[in-house]
A and B are shown apart, each in its own frame.
Chain A
Amino acid sequence: MSAEVILKIAISGVLTGLVYGLMALGLSVIFGVVRVVNFAHGEMMTIAMYLVIVCFTAFGLDPLVMLVPISAVLFALGYLMQRAIINPFINRPEHSQFMLLVAVALIIVNGLLLIFGPDSQGITTSYSFDSFDLGGIIIDAGKVYAALAAIVVAAGLFAFFRLTLTGKAIRACADNYNGALVVGLNVKQLYALTFGIGAACVGAAGTMLMIVTDVTPAIGPAYTLLAFVIVITGGLGSMTGAIVGGILIGLTEALGGFFFTPSAKTMFSFAILVLVLLFRPQGIMGRKTA
């Protein structure tokens, strides 16, 4: 097998992993701050994917143009969802939160099924079939654009949490809930904001994924599972971990599928997950809790 082919597969895996990482970043942000595991994460992403379909088919709008507007819509959805239905469950047992979010996921899947039907739907942009030839290494142009957008969004998010007052306040809530209350932070408002930011991440990831893949209503749970694998591997609650986990899973699936059998691609990502849980339960970038 030529080195060019292997390098091409590896680059493709990293590019896909970056978009997966952006999706998982949303889950990690929400859990890291609000301490609620969003079991409707993948399903929320399918909403963004269908928004891309609608914008593209009805108005001819390119997903790259729709990145910010769709992320904003998902932000609003996440914000309202947290305020209206998740907030009352914040202090309830975890199984109640689990049931709530699974119910939300089911409603999303069936709602999309009713509206868009069961067939897979995709878009064909002017660059859908483009690829770059870098000295014999052929790279999918759509994946490059999607990965670049994922890097920009992730960098923006890191900057937001590090450099802005609101970002620092959210981090304070995550670090010390009681302390945040004592210094007078509006924790409810910050939680809703965080859920909105997590949803915006997943909106951006969904928008970018539509450049490289199709969507069906039933695909949501698979993405939720993938996001879990990534954040647990990278470290639940760690933003860097989500990106690192995404790249690692993308790369592992690509190379594992190539050297062994493609039908067992997901087996390799689960194998990584098991290894991480065995030898570093807090995840690659996660902090060990006392």
Chain B
Amino acid sequence: MASKTRISRRTFTAGVGAAGIVAGTAPFNIISAQGAPLKVGVLLPRSGAQAGIGQDCQRGVDITAGMLKDLKLPALQIMSADTETNVEVARARAERLINEGAQLLMGAFDSGQSTAIAQVAEQRGIPFVINIAAAPPITEQGYKFVFRNFPTAGRILADAFENQIEIFKATGNAPKTAVFMHVNDTFGSAMQKGITATLAKFPDTPYKIVETIAYDMTARDLSVEVAKAKAANAEALVMVSRLNDAILLTRELIKQRWSPKAILSMGPGWYEDQYLKTLGKFGDGPMSFVPWYDPNKKLTKALEVALAKAHPGVNLNTNHVYSFEALLVAADAYKRAGSADPKALADAIRATNIKDNVSPGPGIQFDAKGQNSALKNSAIQNRGGKLVTIAPKTASNAKPEHPMKPYNNR
């Protein structure tokens, strides 16, 4: 049954008034959008195999608001999403964040997940700033909306050997032989190929690899691996591992009474808080060659203070630094763009020139591919339960200690 609707004078007046309010405030809305926080979709692996790292990256996100305020940069409205350490979930979450109004995406620690998000960002025309992901192809696709302030795998390895040469020259003492141990997962196998290829390009590297030992990432017992490495009678141990196996390996080194002159790690594990906490004095000595931060920069000190305040006892690391810097890039670009328009934001990010930053190198700029190719990587060493930067000299705060103090003499 159709109902008859009568418009009364009162209804008409109210309608006109409402229309007037809408019409009158519409331009104001556009203006106020420029002053409103930029909506940033933060995609991280908060659960699944990489949950620990994702949660560590989140610490970097957590301390960003206060830092941006101090830097007089616009505020960001963080929209969090969990990629569940899964490429397809990462893709779906990126879509959903954009549908829910995200004006810029940030994430996602892992190369596979970041690649999936990059495809979505490019299709939807929403800027995506990668915090951590080293696979070179991500910025080789000709994307216009994808930016990465993190070194590529090739750059990380090349810097690792450059820094080693610098360290061994400085100490005047270098190992002649090394055993190379690596996890046999995708990351470890890719690193094994990369290290073998990069090593050939650095003839000044003082040691030769006499044995390569691959081991299972889920191994519960690494006594066989260490026995095999020890039997090679090498002076140094070159490692590509993760946290759990780094701890197991160190315990085995001590129990099997083998103290290599140097442990040279080109991956995670050996510098992580959990490693230092679990092993105490036995955690000292290993050198890690990683994307890090310049301890001498002003902003680094401010970031350290902010982290210590928010998360006491947690050492500043790659996850915090590069997650923070990705958001710094977003806030800086938003300020310069003066708008949340995706194209304007992308253009502003492309024109980024941040000198006051945290990571080593001249600052944050992006090349035509959206890659910060000026980034440098560092060598860090565990000392007294803390981490010191020992190379490159221009971004260091300590001299290298080599050879490593034997385990039975601590």
Contact = CB atoms under 8 A, between A and B. Distances in A.
A-B interface, 3 closest residue pairs, ranked by CB to CB distance from nearest: A118-B51, A120-B244, A257-B224
B223 A5 contact: no
Interface in B370-392: none
Nearest to A261: B214
Contacts of A266: 216
Interface stretch (B23-31, B171-179, B250-258, B356-364): B250-258
B216 A254 contact: no
A167 interface: no
Interface string A243-279: 0000000000110011001110110000000000000
A261 B221 CA distance: 14
29 contacts: A1-B231, A8-B227, A9-B227, A12-B223, A12-B224, A13-B224, A117-B55, A118-B49, A120-B244, A124-B278, A128-B251, A129-B254, A130-B255, A133-B257, A138-B257, A213-B220, A213-B221, A216-B244, A218-B49, A257-B224, A257-B225, A258-B224, A258-B227, A261-B213, A262-B219, A262-B228, A263-B184, A263-B215, A263-B216
B310 interface: no
Interface of B: 47, 49, 51-52, 55, 184, 213-216, 218-225, 227-228, 231, 243-244, 247-248, 251, 254-257, 274, 278-280, 282, 407
A16 interface: yes
A254 B223 contact: yes
Given A124-B278, A124-B280, A212-B221, A263 B227 contact: no
Given A120-B274, A124-B278, A124-B279, A138 B255 contact: yes
Nearest to B230: A5
A128 B282 CA distance: 12
B255 to A, nearest CB: 5
- Helix, strand, loop or mixed for chain A's interface? helix
A186 interface: no
A228 to B, nearest CB: 15
Given A140-B256, A265-B216, 10 more contacts: A12-B223, A113-B47, A122-B278, A130-B255, A133-B257, A141-B255, A209-B220, A218-B49, A257-B225, A261-B214
Contacts of A138: 255-257
Contacts of A122: 247, 278
A119 interface: yes
A214 B49 contact: no
Nearest to B225: A262
Max chain B C-beta neighbours (<10 A), residue from A5, A258, A262? A262
Given A12-B223, A12-B224, A218-B49, A120 B256 contact: no
A222 B251 contact: no
Max chain A C-beta neighbours (<10 A), residue from B184, B224, B228, B407? B224
A212 B73 CA distance: 50
Contacts of B278: 122, 124, 214
B95 to A, nearest CB: 26
A120 B221 contact: no
A265 B184 contact: no
A131 interface: yes
- Helix, strand, loop or mixed for chain B's interface? helix
A76 interface: no
A262 B216 contact: yes
Interface in A1-52: 1-2, 5, 8-9, 12-13, 16
B279 A265 contact: no
Contact of A265 (B49, B224, B282): B224
Interface string A119-150: 11010100011110100001011110000000
A138 B222 CA distance: 15
A117 B52 contact: yes
Nearest to B242: A120
Given A129-B255, A218-B49, A222-B218, A119 B274 contact: yes
A130 B408 CA distance: 11
A247 to B, nearest CB: 14
B255 A222 contact: no
Nearest to B221: A16
Nearest to B272: A119
A262 B244 contact: no
Given A12-B224, A213-B220, A222-B218, A120 B247 contact: yes
Contacts of B223: 9, 12, 16, 140, 143, 254
A262 B224 contact: yes
A9 to B, nearest CB: 6
A262 B179 CA distance: 14
A102 interface: no
Contacts of B282: 129
A222 B227 contact: no
Nearest to A218: B49
B274 to A, nearest CB: 6
Contacts of A253: 224
Nearest to B212: A261
Nearest to B280: A124
B256 A131 contact: yes
B262 to A, nearest CB: 20
A209 to B, nearest CB: 8
A5 B231 contact: yes
Contacts of A9: 223-224, 227
Contacts of A209: 220
Contacts of B244: 120, 214, 216
Contacts of A113: 47, 51
Interface string A194-236: 0000000000000001001110101100100000000000000
Contacts of B55: 117-118
Contacts of A117: 51-52, 55
